[in-house]
Chain A
Amino acid sequence: MTILLFASAREAVGHPRLGWAVPPDGTPADRLVRELAERFPKVRPILRRCRFVRNGTILDDLHTPIRPGDEFAVHPPYGGG
């Protein structure tokens, strides 16, 4: 699966997009977020304020499994205008 990172999350990680391995039956979104924070400690404080999006839908339930082939986006607080 692919992780998309925007704005402050992208700057903390250093990449706009990451390939990420998950098991065939998926990984819960909150676990994926923890793994991301472990691999990129600078993004940890930002992740606490983020929304997460799976295949174009904002996740209300962070136990939702993220499966191979999914697109998982990390949205820091919005700042348009």
Chain B
Amino acid sequence: MPVRLTTRRLSMAEAMRVLARPGLGGIALFAGCVRPDPGPGGRVVALDYEAHGPLAVGALRALEREAVRRFGPGRFVLWHRLGRLPVGEVSVIVGAACGHRAEAFSAARFLIERLKVTVPIWKTERARPGRRPRRSRARRAGRSAG
């Protein structure tokens, strides 16, 4: 299925199977993953993804149609994960299978950049509040280290 919003884990191998067809000589796959960025509330440990479901699916389908119009007949996937995703999880996969690598790279770049600004999906950071550095045993014992 070219467009997918799901709480299930996303698979690059499955995306590859959906995209690969004889005659489509270039396949570009992009996966976005949750990073442990520092934030105002502490280091990010997870992201909560949500979507305005019907509108998000419609916007993803519109992007797929636009990719066909711009890059010619090929195959495209736009998959986005929803729910709470811990650091390291794949949150999004976009892929493009085209006749040659140039269109495939361009199409995949187009899909991820447009997805970010046109599809009603949001993420909320879940952070672990920062801890004060642990004091060394020497300092706790009243001795200076070094």
Q: Give residues in A with beta carbon < 8 Å to B.
A: 4, 6-8, 11, 53, 56, 73, 75-76, 78-81
**When chains A and B are docked, how far (Å) is the Cα of A76 from the Cα of B122?**
8
Q: CB-defined interface of B78-100 with A at 8 Å, one 1/0 digit per residue?
A: 00100000000001100000000
Cβ contacts under 8 Å, A56 to chain B: 54-55, 58
Q: Shortest 9 CB-CB distances between A and B: which pairs?
A: A80-B121, A7-B122, A81-B116, A79-B122, A79-B123, A81-B32, A81-B92, A80-B119, A75-B120
Q: Is B124 an interface residue (CB 8 A)?
A: yes
Q: Give residues in B with beta carbon < 8 Å to A.
A: 32, 49-52, 54-55, 58, 80, 91-92, 112, 115-124
Nearest residue in B to A51 (C-beta to C-beta)? B120
Is A7's CB under 8 angstroms from B50's CB?
yes
Is A6's CB under 8 angstroms from B122's CB?
yes
Is A7's CB under 8 angstroms from B112's CB?
no
**When chains A and B are docked, how far (Å) is the Cα of A76 from the Cα of B120?**
9
Q: Which of B50, B55, B112, B120 contacts A81 (CB 8 A)?
A: B112
Is A78's CB under 8 angstroms from B55's CB?
no
Cβ contacts under 8 Å, B122 to chain A: 6-8, 76, 78-80
| Least distance between B5 CB and chain A CB atoms (Å) | 10
Given A6-B50, A7-B122, A75-B120, does the pair A80, B55 have CB atoms closer than 8 Å? no
